[in-house]
Amino acid sequence: MISFNYETDFKLSSEEDVSKWILETITLENHKLEEVNYVFCDDEYLHKLNVEFLNHDTLTDIISFDYSVGKQVAGDIFISVERVADNAKDFNVSFDVELQRVIIHGILHYCGYKDKTDDDAKVMRSKEDSYLELYNQKFS
């Protein structure tokens, strides 16, 4: 099950399409969906989680709590829509594209991809690009 929760005025335009895309991504990565909860929030909300749970006193666009076991994908993904909007400007992409990238980034972590080293980050970015293309082909 995939659920979308909102701690801000933001709302996804098509939860159904995004859910289908996430499920297809998980399936293509040879994993199975258990339960993923997305929480869309503002910088203040996410900053508080970052300090409280990760001891990071910084702003970030996404924090994911991974409860996956083996190939069963489960977790909570918190996304700051304010940070996504700022990053979209910085990277010169639309808000929607940056949001999709962040949404799938969390899922890719749950499927075992890392991004701490340069090589891992390149693989992660390539996977993100591939699944963004899939979204555009099927749902745009």
Q: Which tens digits make up the pLDDT trace of 89-108? A: 999 999 999 999 999 999 99
CB 105 within 8 A of CB 61: no
Query: Rounded to whole angstroms, what are the CA distances from 27 to 23, 32, 92?
Result: 6, 6, 31
- pLDDT for the residue 9: 94
Residue 54 has pLDDT above 90, yes or no: no
pTM of the model: 0.93
In DSSP terms, which residues pair with 78 in a beta bridge?
39, 63
Please, what is the average pLDDT of the chain?
Answer: 95
- pLDDT for the residue 39: 98
Domain 2-139: top CATH class: alpha beta
Q: Is 56 annotated as a binding residue?
A: no
Alpha helices in the chain (DSSP H): 15-28, 43-54, 81-90, 95-110, 118-139
Query: Rounded to whole angstroms, what are the CA distances from 121 to 2, 5, 20, 29, 58?
Result: 26, 28, 25, 17, 20
Q: Where are the domains of the chain?
A: 2-139
Q: Is 57 annotated as a binding residue?
A: no
Q: Is 105 annotated as a binding residue?
A: yes
Residue 140 has pLDDT above 80, yes or no: no
